[in-house]
Structure 1
C-alpha cells in the first residue's frame, strides 16, 4: 500500500521506484527502504529539527530564520522543482540518499552556525544505533550534505565545496552520482526562502533582523520552464532604514540585490557539476514598494530579468581556474608556465 501521493514530490517518486522492484533502483538487500526513510524522517522531525533554531540561539547565533521541519520540506520541494522531468533519470536509491542528505544538511546548526555544514558526521554519531543507515550510506549522505556551503577546509578561502566530491561512486552495489546530488541539494537550499521562514512572535535581535526582513519580503518562488520567478514586497518603512549586517549596516533593497547576485552565482556554479540536470538559466525579478498609507497598494516597483547568457568577460576570465588533472575534479593544478616569458626563462636555464 502506497504511503505517498504525487503532492509529496520526490518521496512519491522514490516510493514508485521501490514498488516497481527494478534491479538497478535499490540495493539488493532485505531492507525496506521506504520504511527506512520514514523512520529517519519521523525521528528527525520529532527529535532534532524542532530544536535546531533553539540550539543555534543557545550557541550565541541569535534567532535564525526557520531551519526546522518546514525548511526541510521546502528544500525537498525546491529540489523536485529544479529536477522537473529529469527526475525520471535518477535511481530510486539516489533519491533516497538525496532526501536523507536534505534532512541532515542543516542539523549542525544545533550546536552553532559556525562550520555547521561540517558537523554532520558528528550528529550522525550522536544518533548511533537509532539511525538506520549503514556506514557507506552515512559517508555518502554526509558528503552530499556537507557541500551545501562553507569552505573546502578551515585554512582555505576556497568555496568550491562541490569539487572534492566524487562524480560517481558505488554505495551498497548501486552506482550513485554523488556530485550531481550535492549540486541539486545546494541549489535547492539556496532557493528555499520566503516569508514563511520568518514568523517569529518574539523580538528579533538586531544582528538577525536583516535576514528576517529579507525572508518576509519574498513571496514563494515560481518556476516557469527555465525561469525562476522572484517577487519581493518591501514595506515602505524598510526603504528608509538600514539594518545591521555583521559590522556594517545595509538597506533591505541592497540585501535583496546581494542575495539575487549570490543566487545567480550559485546557479552558474551548481550547473557546472549537475550534468545537465539543472535546466534553469534565468531569474525573473519584481520588486514592489508598499504604499505608506496602505500596504496592499504599491507606490513604486521595478522588474528585470537576469540570465546566464552573453560572452564571458575577458578581463576576469582565467584559464587556470578551469584546470583539472586527468579530468579528476579534486586535483586542480596550476599552469606549468604562467606565460611565454616564463617558458623562455625555463628553457634557457636548462641550456
Structure 2
C-alpha cells in the first residue's frame, strides 16, 4: 500500500507555482513538479517506510528517519530562507530549478538508512538512478543532485569533513543554460538537517525499553527535549531545551571511537550537540551568503520538575574577539614568501 505523502510545504508549493516557467528549467517540458512527485512517492514507499529496520541492524534504535523527517527538513529549509516571515522575498532567493534540485536532494539525503546507517550518505547516487528514468533526469542532473545529498554529512575517505567543497568541485554548475548554486543548496540541506531535530522524531518505544542502547536513548531524549526557532531576518537560531529533573543525575555509557566506554550525563550530551550545531552553522555560513546566513545560536536550558520551571541557563554561540588563522599564509602557499620569490625570479648579486 502506497505511503501517503505530503506536498504542502512552502518550497513544494513554490515548485508547483513555477512549473509553467519552462524557460527556467533545463528541459522545457514543464514536468518537473510531476517528476518530483514520482521521486517522492517512490522513495517514501521503498526506502523511508523501512528506514527503521536498516537503522536497527546493529541493535540500535535511532531517532525516526521516515518520510516525516524528510518533510521536517524541507520545512526547516523554508524557514531558513524566511518563508514563514516574508514569503514573497523568500520566493526570490532561489531560482525555480534550484528549488527542484534542493527538494530532490532533501528527499535523497537519508534514504540510504534503509540499508544501514553507516555510509548512508554515499548511497544517494545509486538510489537516484533507480527512479531517474521515470523522473526524466539526465546523468548530469543525477550526479549533481546526488553530490548535494551526499554532502549533508559524513566525511571523505581521508577523514576530511569538508564534504561540500570536496564533493561539489564546481560551485555553480550549469545544466544546459541553467546555472545551479550547488554549494549553497548543499549548505541549506546540511544545516536544515541539523536544525530539524524535534519531539516528533523521538522514538518513545526506544525511550521506554529497558534494553535500548544508551547512545540511542540519548539521541531520542535529545529530540524529545528540544524546541527550535529560526529567525531569518535577525539571522539567529534559538534552541531551547526542556529537561526533566530526574535526568540530571543519570549516567549513560557510550562507546568511544577508540573502542572503549565513556560515561556521559545528559546535559553534557546536549552541550556536545550544541557545539556540533555551532560548527555546522559556521561551516555552512561559508556557502549561504546572500540567502540564509546566520550569525549566532542562542541556547537555553530549562530544568523542569512537576511541569514547573526550576532553573534556566542560557548561552550565545557566535564568533567573538579578534579572529585567528587555522593556517599561516606561507603554509597555504609556500611561494608566498619573500626569500622564495627572490630566489626564484632575481639573479644573485655578484661579488666583485
Same fold? TM cut 0.5: yes
Q: SS of the counterpart of 1:162?
A: helix
CA shift, 1:200, in A, is 3.1
Give the Å deviation of 1:159: 0.7
User: Which one of 221, 235, 239 corresponds to residue 229 of structure 2?
Assistant: 221
1:218–1:230 CA contact under 8 A, matched in 2: yes
Unpaired runs of 5+ residues, structure 1, are: 324-332
Match for residue 180 of structure 1?
184
Aligned match of 2:65: 67
Structure 1 partner of 2:162: 160
Write the mapping of 1:224-243 to structure 2, written as runs, cut at 5 A.
Answer: 225-243=234-252
Q: Distance in 2 between matches of 1:267 and 1:87?
A: 22
TM-score, scaled to structure 2 = 0.83
* Among 280, 284, 287, the residue aligned to 2:301: 287
Matched, 1:208 2:216: yes
In the alignment, what sits opposite 2:309? 298
State whether residues 132 and 142 of structure 2, in contact with CA within 8 Å, keep that contact through their aligned partners in structure 1. Answer: no
> What are the superposed Cα offsets for residues 68-88 of structure 1, whole Å, 9 maximum, x if unpaired?
111101111111111123441
Query: In structure 2, what is the Cα distance between the partners aligned to 1:317 and 1:48?
Result: 41
Aligned pairs (5 A) from 1:1-351: 8-19=9-20, 21=21, 23=23, 25-58=24-57, 60=58, 62-84=60-82, 85-127=89-131, 129-151=133-155, 153-154=156-157, 156-164=158-166, 165=168, 166-202=170-206, 203=209, 204-223=212-231, 225-247=234-256, 248-291=262-305, 294=306, 296-312=307-323, 314=324, 317-320=326-329, 334-336=332-334
Q: How far did 1:340 drift?
A: 6.8
Say whether the 8 Å CA contact 1:234–1:289 is kept in structure 2: yes
272-281 or 87-96: bigger deviation: 272-281
CA distance in 2, matches of 1:65, 1:196: 9
CA RMSD of aligned residues (A): 2.9
- Give SS of 2:61's match: coil
Measured in 2, the distance between the counterparts of 1:236 and 1:222 equals 27
SS at match of 1:88: coil
What secondary structure is seen at the aligned counterpart in 2 of 1:234?
strand
3-state SS, counterpart of residue 263 of structure 2: strand
Using a 3 Å threshold, how does the CA distance of structure 1 residues 319 and 36 change in structure 2: closer, same or farther?
Answer: same
- Give the alignment's TM-score, normalised by structure 1: 0.84
| Mapped partners of 2:204, 2:250: distance in 1 | 21
Partner of 2:259: none
Shift of 1:31: 4.6
CA displacement at 1:344 relative to structure 2: 9.0
**CA shift at 1:27, angstroms?**
2.3
Q: State the number of aligned residues.
A: 327
Structure 2 unaligned spans of 5+:
1-5, 83-88, 257-261
